[in-house]
Structure 1
Amino acid sequence: MFIYNIDNINLMTHQASFINSLIPWQSEKVYFDADNYYQELLFEIENAKKTIEIECYIFELDTLGNKFINTLIQAAERKLSIRISIDGYGSLSWNLDIIEKLNSSGIEVKVFHPLPWRISLYKGVKAATGWFEKLLYLTSRVNKRNHRKLFVIDNNSAWSGSLNISRSHLSQLSHGANWLDCGVNVSGTVVTYLVDNFNEVWQRKLTYHPDYFQLPFRSNNNPILRRQKNNELIKLITKCQSRIWIINAYLAPSKRILRALKQARKRGVDVKLLISRRTDVIFFPLVSTTYYQQLLAVDIKIYEYNEQIIHAKTMLLDNLLLVGSSNLNHRSFLHDLELDFIMTKQTSINTTEAKFRQLVDKSEVVTVKRFESIVWSKKVLGQLLWKLRYWL
C-alpha cells in the first residue's frame, strides 16, 4: 500500500510541477503498429503544403525507402522545401547517385559524419576545409552518430520514436521483419521549436534555447544539452513514487541510471524492465544479462520478450511518458545524437500502459534460477563484451 507521507507528497508535487512547466502538444498519438504509422506519415507527406524536414538514422533503399523517396520527389514537384539528413553509418546504402537524383528534384540532402573513406560524401562537412582535414575530422568522430528519427510536416506536425525508414519495422503481412516499435505523432505551434532543433543539427550549430526546459522534447545536440538531458532523466527517475515501466531494445545502463533504478525500487516503486531476448545486434542480450544479478537482488522485475525483436524505446515514469530514439545504453548517453518526446495526455499514457501489460503477459519473467541456468560460457562472453559497454 502506498502511504502519503511528506516525502511522497513532495515527489508527486515534483512531477506535477514538471508537467505544468511544459508547453503542451496540441495533440498526441502513440503508435505500436508500424504499418499504420508509415501509412499515416506518408499520407501527411502527400498532402504537405510548404515544408518537410526529415532526420533519420537508417534510411534503407528497400521497398519502403523507395516509396518514401518517390513520395518526396512528388512533393518536391509541388514546389515544397524538403530537407533530408541521414547518418553516414546507419544509411550505408546511400551513395552520391541517389543524393544527386534527389538534389536534381530540388531536395536538399546532408550526410551526418560520413565514414572517412567515403570521400564522395564529404560535401556537407563544414567543420573543416580541405579533404585531408575533413578526413581527420571524420576519423575522430566515427563513433558519434545521429541516431535521431524526426519527420516535420509544414512546421505543425511531427513524427518521431524508434522507427527508421526500413522494411524491418513492417509487419509480416507487409513483408517486413515485424519488429516491435513505438512511434508518436504530435501537433501544435510548439512543433516550430523542433524545426529550430533540426536546424541546429543541419547547420552544425551549438546553440542554447532559453525556453529549453519548457519544451515537450529533449535532445542532446551539444555537450550542455547532453548533460542536462541525462541529469534530468536521473532526477525524474529519482522522483518517481509509483512506477517505472521501461521498454527498451538494449539494456546496458550507465552506473547513474542503474543506481537510480535500484534506489527507486528500494523506495517501493514498481520497477519493471521489458527487453528483447533477441535483438538486431546479435550479441547485445549477452551484455544485458550481466546486469541481471544486481537488478534481481533488489527485486526489479525483468521480462524477456521473444515473439518479436523489440526496438521500441519508451519509459512510463508515474504518469509521464517518454518516447524517442534513446536506448538504455552508453551510446545514447555518451555518444549519439538522440531525440525524445515527453507525452502527458492520458490517452498516450493509457495506450502505452495497455501495450506494456499485454507484452508482459507474453514474456518470460527472469528469475534468479533462470539467471543461474545461463551457461557459463555465455556469462563469460557477456562479461567480456560488458567491458566494451562504453562503445555499445
Structure 2
Amino acid sequence: MWFFIVLALLVLLIAWCMIDFYLGRREFRKTRHKRVYPKRFSNIILLTHGPDLFNHLCEDIKTAKESVHVLFFILSDDHFSREFMDLLIQKAQDGVEVRLLLDQIGSTKVKKQHITMLRDGGVDIAFSQKVKAPYFFFTFQQRNHRKISTIDGKIGYLGGYNVGREYIDEDPKLSPWRDYHLRLDGEGVQDLQKEFLLDWFRATNKDLSDEAKYFPVLEKGTVTHQIFPTEGIRIEEIFSRYIEDAKTSITIGTPYFIPTEKVMNSLILALKRGVTVTIIVPNKSDHMLVKEASFPYFRKLLVYGANIYQYMEGFYHAKVMMIDNDFCDIGTANFDKRSFELNLELNNFLYDQQFIKKVKIEIAKDISGSERLTIEKLNSVSFFTRVKEAVAGSISTLL
C-alpha cells in the first residue's frame, strides 16, 4: 500500500516539475528582447591558465580608480575565494565603487557571514536569478552562467573561469583546470558593461545604465569582435547558421556535449558535405551523467567521420568553436541544451585571423593532450554505462 502511495506522489511530483518547467520557460521567453551589439575593435588577450588569469584580473582590480563590477556564476568557500573577497573589500574601502553579482544557486557556498563581511566592507553584493513563484522548478533550473568583470569601464573580462581553488589548479581531482578566458581593453568593454548593468538591474531594480561615469571614451583596439548575449534563445539558431556555412573545418571544445536536434543535424550535414569536424571534451567529469549523455551523439558523429578527442591532462572546461579558421567563438556557453535553451550566457565572436591563429595554437595543445575516441570503444561500454546514457538522455536539458 505504502509503495503505491509513494509511487503516486513521485509521479505527481514529476508531473508538477514538467508543467512548471514548460510554463515557466514559455513565460520567460515572452519577456526576452534580442540584444545585438555591433562589431567592435578591442585589444584582447587569451588566458588559458587559471593563475595567469587571476594574476591579470587582480592586478587590474588593484589599479581601479572609479568602479569594479564583477559577475560570476560560482564563488566558492575556500581560501582563494576569501582572498578575492578581501581584495574587493579593500578596493571599496579605498573609495572605489565595487559591485559583486553572483548566481543564487551557483554561489550557494558563499556563507552569510561572508555576505555580511562584504556589505560591511562597502561592497554592494546581490544575487541573480533567484528561485521564485510561481515557477519554482523553472527558476531553480535557469541560471545566470555569465562571467563578466569590468574595471573603470575600460578593462573587461569574460570566459569560462569562476572563483575557487579548482580554477587555480588546487583541486587534486580536477587539476590542472583547462579553460579559456578573455581580457579586453577597447571598444568592446562598453558592451560588457551594459550586460553587467542589465543583470544588476534585474537583480536589484537599480538602473545604472545611463550613468556616464561607467562608460568612458574608449579607443579602438586591433581585434575585430562582437559581444553576443543569449538567454535561452538565439544561440541554437546562430551556431547552426555558422556550422551550415562552414566550408572546410569545424572545431568545438566543450566540457559538455549535449546538442539540440537542430545543431546535431547541422553537424551531420557538414560531415556529409566533406567538412572536417573535430570535437574536444574532457575525459574526467565534474558532474553526474554529463559524460554519458554525450555518448549517443558521439556514436552518430563518428559514423560520419568526426574526430572526437578526450582531454586527459586534467579537466577540460573550455568553450570554444572555430569555423574555417576565420571565425571563432569563446565565452560562457557550453555546447549543450542547458546553455542553448535555458541559461543566461555571454559569448564573444572573434573575426581577426591573427588572433584566431593564437587560438589554433591552444587548440593544438588541447588535442596533443587528448586521446582519440573510437566507435569501437563507445560500442563496448558496460551495461551500467548504457543505463546511465538512457537516464541522461531523459533529462538532457537539465544536465
- TM tier, smaller: 0.7 to 0.9
d(CA) in 2 for partners of 1:57 and 1:227? 19
SS at match of 1:279: coil
Residue 363 of structure 1: aligned partner? 370
d(CA) in 2 for partners of 1:290 and 1:317? 24
1:376 to 367, 372, 383: 383
Offset of residue 22 of structure 1: 4.6
d(CA) in 1 for partners of 2:300 and 2:47? 33
d(CA) in 1 for partners of 2:78 and 2:311? 27
Residue 218 of structure 1: aligned partner? 228
Residue 322, structure 1, aligned to residue 329, structure 2: yes
Residue 238, structure 1, aligned to residue 244, structure 2: yes
Structure 1 residues 152 and 175: CA distance shift in structure 2, 3 A:
farther
2:92 to 76, 83, 90: 76
Residue 154 of structure 2: aligned partner? 156
d(CA) in 2 for partners of 1:138 and 1:199? 25
Residue 258 of structure 1: aligned partner? 264
User: Is the 1:219–1:340 Cα contact (8 Å) retained in structure 2?
Assistant: yes
User: After the TM superposition, which residues 1-392 of structure 1 pair with which residues of structure 2 at under 5 Å, given as runs?
Assistant: 22-114=38-130, 134=132, 136=134, 138=136, 140-172=138-170, 177-204=175-202, 216-221=226-231, 226-318=232-324, 319-392=326-399
Structure 1 residues 176 and 74: CA distance shift in structure 2, 3 A:
farther
User: Is the 1:76–1:105 Cα contact (8 Å) retained in structure 2?
Assistant: yes
SS at match of 2:202: coil
| Letter of the 1:151 counterpart | S
User: Is the 2:328–2:350 Cα contact (8 Å) retained in structure 1?
Assistant: yes
Offset of residue 360 of structure 1: 1.4
SS at match of 1:182: strand
Offset of residue 175 of structure 1: 11
d(CA) in 2 for partners of 1:180 and 1:384? 28
d(CA) in 2 for partners of 1:241 and 1:56? 36
Offset of residue 80 of structure 1: 1.1
Structure 2: state its 5+ residue gaps.
1-36, 210-223
d(CA) in 2 for partners of 1:137 and 1:257? 28
Structure 1 residues 367 and 137: CA distance shift in structure 2, 3 A:
closer
d(CA) in 1 for partners of 2:308 and 2:173? 31
d(CA) in 1 for partners of 2:322 and 2:57? 25
User: Is the 2:77–2:111 Cα contact (8 Å) retained in structure 1?
Assistant: no
Offset of residue 291 of structure 1: 1.3
Q: How many residues align?
A: 345
User: Is the 1:170–1:176 Cα contact (8 Å) retained in structure 2?
Assistant: no
User: Is the 2:289–2:388 Cα contact (8 Å) retained in structure 1?
Assistant: no
Structure 1 window deviating more from structure 2 (342-351 vs 272-281): it is 342-351
Offset of residue 259 of structure 1: 0.7
Identity %: 23
User: Is the 2:191–2:227 Cα contact (8 Å) retained in structure 1?
Assistant: no
Offset of residue 358 of structure 1: 2.1
SS at match of 2:347: strand
Q: For residues 85-106 of structure 1, what are the alpha-carbon distances to aligned partners after superposition, in whole Å with 9 as ceiling and x for unaligned?
A: 1011111112433222222222
**Please, what TM-score do these two structures have when normalized by structure 1?**
0.82
Offset of residue 345 of structure 1: 2.9
The structure with more strand, counted as a fraction of residues: 2
User: Is the 2:292–2:389 Cα contact (8 Å) retained in structure 1?
Assistant: yes
**Please, what TM-score do these two structures have when normalized by structure 2?**
0.81
